[in-house]
Amino acid sequence: MPDYSFVCEECGAHFTKHLGFNQNRSNLVCPNGHHHIQREYTAPQVNFKGSGFYVTDSKKTDKAA
């Protein structure tokens, strides 16, 4: 089962969710509690450590290897 990438339309947070068959996507919330979630159709593991990766805790500054 793949993990699905989502992006919050309200705050732009990117996150991934593991969705099963019976999982209702309508109860998804972003890490900041918003409900306007958009499925992100990107290739896995690509585009993820790019420039537009917003995280609220700015601890992880740049984990580029």
The torsion angle over the Cα atoms of residues 47, 9, 36 and 54, rounded to 10 degrees, is 60
Q: Which residue number, 2 or 36, has a Cβ lying nearer to Zn ion?
A: 36
Q: Which residue number, 32 or 42, has a Cβ lying nearer to Zn ion?
A: 32
Q: Which residue number, 21 or 60, has a Cβ lying nearer to Zn ion?
A: 60
Q: Which residues bind Zn ion (CB under 5 A)?
A: 8, 10-11, 13, 30, 32, 34
Least separation in angstroms between CB 25 and Zn ion: 15
